Amino acid sequence: MSVQHEQRAILVARSSLPPLDEYVDEIRSIWQTHWLTNMGQKHAQLESDLRSYLGVNGIALFVNGHLALECVLEAMQLEGEVITTPFTFASTTHAIVRKGLAPVFADVRADDYTMDPSGLEALITPRTCAILPVHVYGNLCDVDAIQEVADRHGLVVIYDAAHAFGVTRDGVSSAAFGDASMFSFHATKVFNTIEGGAVCFCDPSLKERLDQWKNFGITGLESVEYVGGNAKMNEFSAAMGICNLRHLDAEIARRRLVAERYWERLEAARGLRLCLPGPRVHHNYAYLPVVFEDDYGASRDQARDALARQHIYSRKYFYPLTSDFECYRGRFDSRETPVARWVAERVLALPIYADLALEDVDRICDILLGLGRGSA
Ligand code: T4K
């Protein structure tokens, strides 16, 4: 029996769904219009709803976050080197490489695992065109310091904000930082459209290019101006997004209760490093990363295995570093990002989702506390 089908299993994530009747009501009109995809009415409505929710003007929807990222890299006509971090999902580095750009890896900070701006300047060369930091786990990067370096060197900043939907700092949405931000609306995310993604951007001229690129570069009935791809969000996904957005605040509030229970139970444990939101930040509680330090008393993998024996499936988000992937062997040296390497070897993402029972959180914490050396 696969992990997905084990009745008692607790997985690292669990998709949120709107009430079935609400979704059925939302898609009913599709049976009149027979309009299933190619930027239909649901697509237009979701874009408009997201513009209001995020407080941004520039947005383009995509079939997934990865193609959204590839598309914005291409639409910005970038060439050369892109400074990014290797402590991320495969998508970030792959998008850079697949667009013919060269990733240059900056290290991350030891407290929130986002790009360390203090090392940035030393990585800039005449070929550097952009900085692509990741708001990993929904933790906002040091956007002010990164922007300062980018402005000083005339570089574009594109955020991989796949994890950061719904996060704000001093009331400003994560969508508002840098030149552009990519969001993922994958089934495992705080806000999902089944599969889906978006790019939010400042330069209004990008809108036409992004929309045309995701539809084969077609610019008119008889004209095709770019070698575009197909990355359009369909109407059923857009309808799911319209429904899920109505429930997003409640979703984040429930996730917060789960996260706070973990932090309350684990904060005194020796050798367990938690990752709490900063004071100016309204977080989305997308992930629950825990770092197993050397004085915990067991390794990260032993903790993962102890949970798995009780049918609780945590995940090593993110191990290995993307710079250590087989497909990049010989191209990068992860010893140049020692903090990222240290974290990747010790981090475990614990289960978190809106309807995870607090008793289950307690059970997970009991297992981890039983394995470690007790209180700090
Ligand atoms: N940048 C970053 C930093 C990202 O993390 C991601 C995606 C992207 C870019 C690219 O965005 P997208 O192109 O995906 O929109 C999952 C997700 O597939 C992926 O979207 C996500 N990051 C990554 C961190 O996690 P896997 O390989 O771990 O997925 P999987 O299938 O093992 O699912 C994890 C758990 O989620 C399962 O144990 C159960 C639960 N689940 C999964 C699915 C598919 C559900 O509850 N419902 C579901 O439908 O990558």
* Residue 376 covered by a domain: no
pLDDT score recorded for residue 6: 61
Name which of 75, 39, 94 is nearest 202 in CA terms: 75
Helix axes 41-54, 235-246, angle to 10 degrees: 30
Length of the chain: 376
User: What mean pLDDT is predicted for residues 103-125?
Assistant: 97
Residue 294 belongs to some domain of the structure: yes
Report whether residue 59 contacts ligand 1, using a CB cutoff of 6 Å.
no
State the pLDDT at residue 318: 97
* Domain of residue 333, residue span: 3-12+248-371
Q: Alpha-carbon distance 185 to 371, whole Å?
A: 35
Quick one: which H or E segment has residue 203?
A: none
What domain count does the chain have?
2
DSSP type of residue 307:
H
Tell me how crowded residue 371 is: count the other CB atoms within 10 A of its CB. Answer: 18
Q: Are residues 235 and 262 in the same domain?
A: no
**Distance in Å, CA 87 to ligand 1 centroid:** 15
> How much distance in Å is there from the Cα of 12 to the middle of ligand 1?
10
> Which of 62, 67, 89, 318 best tests ligand 1's pocket when mutated (most atoms within 8 Å of CB)?
89
Using the predicted structure, report yes or no on whether residue 5 has a pLDDT greater than 70: no
And the tokens for 145?
């310091």
Backbone angles phi, psi at 77, to 5 degrees: 55, 50
* Residue 196's CATH number: 3.40.640.10
What residues contact 12, with CB distance under 8 A and at least 6 apart?
313, 314, 315, 317, 349, 350, 351, 352
CA–centroid distance, residue 187 to ligand 1 (Å): 7
pLDDT at 2 over 80: no
36 burial via Cβ count (<10 Å: 0-12, 13-18, 19+): exposed
Q: What does the pLDDT read at residue 279?
A: 86
Taking only the tens place, the pLDDT of each residue in 203-250 is: 999 999 999 999 999 999 999 999 999 999 999 999 999 999 999 999
For residue range 325-334, list pLDDT tens digits in order. 999 999 999 9
Tell whether ligand 1 has an atom less than 6 A from the beta carbon of residue 11.
yes
Percentage of the chain lying above the pLDDT 70 cut: 98
Q: What angle do CA 103, 107, 112 make, to 5 degrees?
A: 120
Cα of 374 from ligand 1 centre, angstroms:
33
Whose Cα sits closest to atom 22 in ligand 1?
Answer: 89
CA–CA–CA angle 261, 277, 345 (5° rounding):
85
Question: Which residue lies with its CA nearest to atom 44 of ligand 1?
Answer: 187
Regarding whether 258 and 230 lie in a shared domain, the answer is: no
The answer to whether residues 101 and 156 belong to one domain is yes
Residues 129 and 273 in one domain: no
pLDDT on residue 3: 58
299 in ligand 1 pocket by Cβ < 6 Å?
no
What would the pLDDT profile of 243-285 be if each residue is shown by its tens digit? 999 999 999 999 999 999 999 999 999 999 999 998 899 999 9
Same domain, yes or no: 46 and 131: yes
How far apart are the CA of 132 and the centre of ligand 1, in A? 20
Q: Looking at ligand 1, which atom is closest to the CA of residue 66?
A: 13
Please check the confidence at residue 376 and state whether its pLDDT lies above 90: no
User: Which residue carries 């684990």 as its tokens?
Assistant: 266
pLDDT value at position 159? 98
Average pLDDT for residues 135-157, to the nearest whole number? Answer: 98
CATH number at residue 327: 3.90.1150.10
Same domain for 164 and 99: yes
- With beta carbons less than 8 A apart as the criterion, state whether 42 and 242 touch: yes
pLDDT band at 364 (very low <50, low <70, confident <90, very high): very high
Secondary structure element (H or E) that encloses residue 191, with its range: none
Instruction: Please state, in angstroms and as integers, the Cα–Cα distance from residue 209 to each residue in 50, 60, 175, 201, 322, following that order.
Output: 19, 10, 19, 12, 29
Quick check: 193 and 238 in contact, CB under 8 A? yes
Residues 238 and 313 in one domain: no
Does 34 fall in a domain?
yes
Say if residue 1's pLDDT is above 60. Answer: no
User: What separation in Å is there between the alpha carbon of 152 and the centre of ligand 1?
Assistant: 36
> Is the CB of 184 inside a 6 Å radius of any atom of ligand 1?
yes
Return the ligand 1 atom nearest residue 315 CA. 28
Report whether 30 contacts 235 (CB < 8 A).
yes
CA atoms of 192 and 184, how far apart (whole Å): 8
- Cα gap 354→285, rounded to integer Å: 10
Which of 246, 271, 294 terminates a domain? The answer is 246
